[in-house]
Structure 1
């Protein structure tokens, strides 16, 4: 019996303590731990949005733009830190519905980060920064094999002279793509055919894009990391007003 009474008092004490903590946070106007993370992410999103607006209104003449697709759980603090130190312009697209307030919206919801990248190019075609860097939103990554796992370190070590020399550079330095095979152009799955997925017509698209015959279409294609740097005047004909 004493043990039962002690257990009840322990439970009551825990409930009282938790209740008092909740009242403390609410009365002091503090966010709960989980809410604090959400508020911080939203604050960062609005700060990044302000930098984007400054670029589009010509108040911020950035020569480098960092383009990425994001969802509400992404921690973009690293991007704010990088833009603050490098004076680049962020172009962050919210690729979920409903979109995250303050961020750009892609012109289509299909294609994952490709939707963000293409939306950026078409929207800012006549006002592209000299350099556009396309990366994933995560502060840590595994696609780029040098300089450790942090995305910000990869960008800090990116030489713009390399982009000048080649027009485009892949942020992965090794030749193997680092990602598994994802597309079989000559043998699409039944589900891809039934769902009218692009992979069901990939062989035809490949022939049109690269001007090759059907027998030159590879049997398998890796799912690339979709990260790289592009110089505006190397492959795009937009009016780049930020050269130099």
Structure 2
């Protein structure tokens, strides 16, 4: 076989032709791809920036996002250290920034939209929970200006039980159970943002059961020892035993005997209510605690029970067929049990006043003067009445009496004691005589009202007589 010689072969020519054709094809493909990509990028830029002129970048004039459209929450509104802002007890969830939906250009290949989201604003450190707050059960007619005027350092939550949400900033689902509905609603509203110490009070400044000579809620709040509340968890604002101690109710006996005690309705309904509210606690023989549903709690004590417990108890209050005044009384003798105290929880008054208010080294006379029974309604115009305690009485200072010129003259001496006593009585300053007369009248009134007091035990009724001014 004869192989062709090199000079007769045309292989080099054909190779060059194939090479040229290949290079030409590659060049055409690259050119086409470049044109295609430029058009695609321009279309994406037009869509994203809404510009009429296609470009490879974004028009900076269209790259600013209105913060109001994203709904950024003001971190300063969160006073309670939680992720949800609160407005005096009502939870408000801040809106989350909206995300731009992804788009695809219909060229067969999905294209992700360039991000135009404003860089995330660093969240401020949440405000720590408040140290102390007040919770009031009030009505629309109550003037609560005394709170801000006298206790400006306290944050106050004033629930208007007879108001609609349009009428008041804070209200309750229904006006049931007196102050119990307010106290439970606050705990439910604020369970995740509770202060260190919260105090639960009635709406009026002067209350007959406030444990100080002026019956003044301002004094009770100012003198309360927050450190003791943090230690004890639950602290009744009342140390005096009348009414409620040493034992106001006998649930086990009433449960067994079912007496028809119309003078003490709370004692009659309490056993069944207790069994529903505290199914895991044995029916107690006696329940005793100083009245009258005003107390302080630590955050830790409230958190010993889950939120669901308080929601369930409030629903029980809403569903109960009992009159609101009766269910309120049931809770009056249940709060201390709910917060882990013994069913009979009557502390030594001297120790109680020392721990709760810092009134230490009180004598028996001091204890007697600390609270006296005047009736459920204080005298009109209180405390600006003749027999109200004066600043001198409160501080233990001698009270100066103004004398007229005739009263200042030396009085003739006499050996007749009866005549001298009569003269001393008749020569008393008018203000002193008026105060003494008022005190006698007030005592008669208090004794009478002790017998008319509704829905208390015989022991409490006698304690009121003993505490009459």
- Normalised TM-score (structure 2): 0.33
Q: 1:168 to 1:221 in 2, by over 3 A?
A: closer
Q: Deviations over 1:32-65 (max 9, x none)?
A: xxxxxxxxxxxxxxxxxxxx83686877953211
Counterpart of 1:175? 241
Cα pair 1:68 1:134 within 8 Å, conserved: yes
Cα pair 1:67 1:120 within 8 Å, conserved: yes
1:211 aligns with 2:211: no
1:227 is aligned, of 294, 313, 318, to 294
Aligned residues: 177
Counterpart of 2:174? 108
Cα pair 1:67 1:92 within 8 Å, conserved: yes
Q: Deviations over 1:105-130 (max 9, x none)?
A: 11332111000000111111111111
The structure having more radius of gyration, on CA atoms, is 2
Q: Deviations over 1:90-149 (max 9, x none)?
A: 111111155782331113321110000001111111111111100111011121222522
Q: Secondary structure at the match of 1:135?
A: strand
1:161 aligns with 2:227: yes
Gaps in structure 1 of 5+ consecutive residues: 1-51, 192-196, 240-244
Q: CA deviation at 1:226?
A: 0.5
1:139 aligns with 2:220: no
Distance 1:140 1:109 in 2: 23
Q: Deviations over 1:170-218 (max 9, x none)?
A: 1112233369x99785247699xxxxx99765213324627124xx444
Cα pair 1:206 1:217 within 8 Å, conserved: no
Distance 2:144 2:169 in 1: 12
Cα pair 1:65 1:91 within 8 Å, conserved: yes
1:50-61 mapped onto 2 (5 Å cutoff): 53=87
Distance 1:238 1:222 in 2: 21
What is the root-mean-square deviation in Å for CA atoms of aligned residues? 3.7
Counterpart of 1:89? 155
Gaps in structure 2 of 5+ consecutive residues: 1-85, 93-125, 307-469
Q: Secondary structure at the match of 1:107?
A: coil
Distance 2:261 2:209 in 1: 30
2:142 is aligned, of 74, 82, 87, to 74
1:64 is aligned, of 127, 132, 142, to 132
Q: 1:107 to 1:165 in 2, by over 3 A?
A: same
Distance 2:272 2:88 in 1: 42
Cα pair 2:196 2:298 within 8 Å, conserved: yes
